[in-house]
Amino acid sequence: MSVTIGALRESAPQEKRVSLVPEVADKLVKDGARVLLEHGAGERAGFPDPLYKSATWGDSAAQVLRAADVLLCVQPLGVEQIGQLKAAAVLVGFMQPHARSDEVRALKARGITSFAMELVPRISRAQSMDALSSQAAIAGYKAVLLAANQLQKFLPMLTTAAGTIRPAQVLVIGAGVAGLQAIATARRLGAMVEAYDVRSATREQVKSLGAKFVETGVSAEGSGGYARELTAEEKAKQQEVLESRIAAADAVVTTASVPGRPAPKIIPRAAVERMRPGAVVVDVAAEQGGNCELTRAGEVVVHQGVSIIGALNLPAALAYNASEMYARNLYNFLKPALSNGELQIDWSDEVFAQACLTHGGEIRHAPTAKALEGST
Ligand code: NAD
């Protein structure tokens, strides 16, 4: 019998994205699966029900949860929803394992096979499944638009009959996927862009986008291409240089994060107080505690004339494209396990093995198991 792949209307507040878009639903049906959606699943992302030509419909979220062999999600399911899944169900989506202990315990207790998109290995073969990257790129783009919108200045240089307008200075802190997209977007809008990251490997990427790299003399190469935490001395040196660049900026977009840890605090109150009134900080790391001391998640704080935007869930602000990209990531992840409409997971495939959070009543992701159960 063919596998039933379900998707819900996301219930988290402000979440407009959907895990399955019509194009991907059609592909899954072509691959022999049955697609079961909750009514209105894609509505807030710009995909009303009639666009899903090949889907079948559930009357309620509960009905989809009970019938799905594979359930796709954007935000982690709550404990109650997990309780409604079939015992042998497979769940695929963002799981936030470090923050959602109760949910991970519930997945384990119910024997659900869960794959966390955060855990997909960042190897070349898995790039098309890399949902962290697809969504981070959107966040970086949108962060610059928020800054531009809040600023009382043009971003580009303008030569007009009323004289020449100087271009705005944008500083991007953290040049990972989100930061690089922020740099590219600010450059396209004509701003003068500087950028900084603790990983020196980003220097060339920053320069190739037409931005200037801020040299602080500190490098924090960690393992697997990620940053490590800095020592106190390194932090002080980095800080000194960065704060002078922050003071000179009209807009600062911060995206710095270290996996599984609170976001590094890079912009203290004193640095904000050195900025010009009217300047803007967009803190893309607000969800992880923020890169700026004054950031309040989900709020715009105005301090001595400087606006600090505690941006939350920026990808949802571009829900149409974000859903398209996310649903394609999910499809590319699932596709190798789909054959003749049935799901067969090859556990020797490192992508499935590493992305697995829970399976067979166990927490398979060692750091999560250690955090929750004290064992590896
Ligand atoms: P991330 O979201 O974890 O962090 C964002 C950036 O913040 C990183 O570039 C990090 O170096 C930087 N940062 C951390 N602490 C900082 C500090 N104190 N000051 C300034 N900057 C700081 O990163 P990400 O965007 O998910 O990317 C992480 C790495 O993974 C990068 O090397 C990226 O190229 C790599 N990556 C590889 C693949 C692939 O090969 N398939 C795909 C995506 C990303």
Candidate from 127, 130, 226 with most ligand 1 atoms within 8 A of CB, to mutate: 226
The pTM score is 0.94
Contact 144, 318 (CB under 8 A): no
| Residue 13, pLDDT score | 87
| Residue 225, pLDDT score | 64
Ligand 1 geometric centre to CA of 66 (Å): 38
Amino acid identity for residue 191 in this structure? A
Side-chain-side CA neighbours of 85 within 13 Å: the count stands at 32
Candidate from 128, 138, 171, 177 with most ligand 1 atoms within 8 A of CB, to mutate: 177
Ligand 1 geometric centre to CA of 257 (Å): 7
Helices (H), the chain: 22-30, 61-67, 79-84, 101-110, 131-150, 177-188, 202-208, 232-248, 269-273, 319-334, 350-355, 366-373
Q: Is the CB of 173 within 6 Å of ligand 1?
A: yes
Cβ count near 235 (within 10 Å) = 17
Q: Is the CB of 245 within 6 Å of ligand 1?
A: no
Contact 282, 251 (CB under 8 A): yes
Atom 20 (ligand 1): residue with closest C-alpha?
197
Atom 37 (ligand 1): residue with closest C-alpha?
122
Q: Is the CB of 258 within 6 Å of ligand 1?
A: yes
Q: Give the residue from 6, 50, 49 showing the smallest Cα distance to 28.
A: 6
How many angstroms separate the CA atoms of 116 and 59, rounded? 27
Ligand 1 geometric centre to CA of 55 (Å): 37
Candidate from 120, 199, 283 with most ligand 1 atoms within 8 A of CB, to mutate: 199
How many angstroms separate the CA atoms of 39 and 80, rounded? 20
Q: Is the CB of 239 within 6 Å of ligand 1?
A: no
| Residue 224, pLDDT score | 66
How is residue 13 annotated by DSSP? T
Atom 18 (ligand 1): residue with closest C-alpha?
264
Q: Is the CB of 140 within 6 Å of ligand 1?
A: no
Residues in the chain: 376
Ligand 1 geometric centre to CA of 256 (Å): 8
Q: Give the residue from 73, 105, 103, 14 showing the smallest Cα distance to 287.
A: 14
Q: Is the CB of 227 within 6 Å of ligand 1?
A: yes
| Residue 238, pLDDT score | 81
Sign of CA dihedral 50, 52, 57, 63: negative
How many angstroms separate the CA atoms of 37 and 297, rounded? 32
Atom 4 (ligand 1): residue with closest C-alpha?
257
Please, what is the Cα angle at 102 between 100 and 104, to 5 degrees?
70
| Residue 374, pLDDT score | 84
How many angstroms separate the CA atoms of 111 and 129, rounded? 25
Beta bridge partners of 358: 114, 363
- Exposure of 321 by Cβ count < 10 A (0-12 exposed, 13-18 middle, 19+ buried)? middle
DSSP 262-288: PPP--B-HHHHHTSPTT-EEEETTGGG
Reading the chain (376 residues) residue by residue, the pLDDT tens digits are 799 999 999 999 899 999 999 999 999 999 999 999 999 999 999 999 999 999 999 989 999 999 999 999 999 999 999 999 999 899 999 999 999 999 999 999 999 999 999 999 999 999 999 999 999 999 999 999 999 999 999 999 999 999 999 999 999 999 999 999 999 999 999 999 999 998 888 999 999 999 999 998 777 766 666 667 778 888 888 888 999 999 999 999 999 988 878 999 999 999 999 999 999 999 999 999 999 999 999 999 999 999 999 999 999 999 999 999 999 999 999 999 998 889 999 999 999 999 999 999 999 999 999 999 885 4
| Residue 260, pLDDT score | 76
| Residue 1, pLDDT score | 75
Question: Which of the residues are catalytic?
Answer: 122, 127, 130, 133, 226
Q: Which atom of ligand 1 is nearest to the CA of 133?
A: 43
